[in-house]
């Protein structure tokens, strides 16, 4: 059986996940696509030394608060 979607979100990064959060809250029938197996998968291919450029409290996603980091800026492993 074919399923009709209202929205297709391309990319499971921060913006795509935020869109998905609000679409689900509004009961919109959607599909979120990403080339990686896991959401935010681009971070898996980043340098180990990569950090966020903002503190954890300013880098949360809607509906998911990023845990506080012991570093000023969260490390790749914490994202």
pLDDT tens digits along 22-74: 999 999 999 999 988 877 767 777 778 878 778 777 778 888 888 777 877 77
pLDDT of res. 73: 79
Contacts of 33-39 with C-beta under 8 Å, sequence gap 24+, read: 33/8, 33/9, 34/10, 36/12, 38/12, 39/12, 39/13
| pTM of this structure | 0.74
pLDDT of res. 17: 92
pLDDT of res. 30: 97
Domain ranges of the chain: 1-45, 46-79
pLDDT of res. 10: 96
């Amino acid at each position: 059986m074919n399923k009709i979607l209202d929205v297709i979100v391309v990319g499971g990064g921060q913006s795509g996940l935020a869109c998905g959060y609000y679409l689900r809250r509004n009961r919109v029938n959607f599909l979120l696509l990403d080339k990686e197996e896991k959401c935010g998968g681009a971070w898996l291919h980043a340098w180990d030394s990569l950090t966020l450029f903002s503190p954890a409290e300013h880098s949360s996603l809607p509906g998911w608060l990023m845990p506080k980091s012991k570093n000023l800026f969260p490390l790749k492993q914490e994202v």
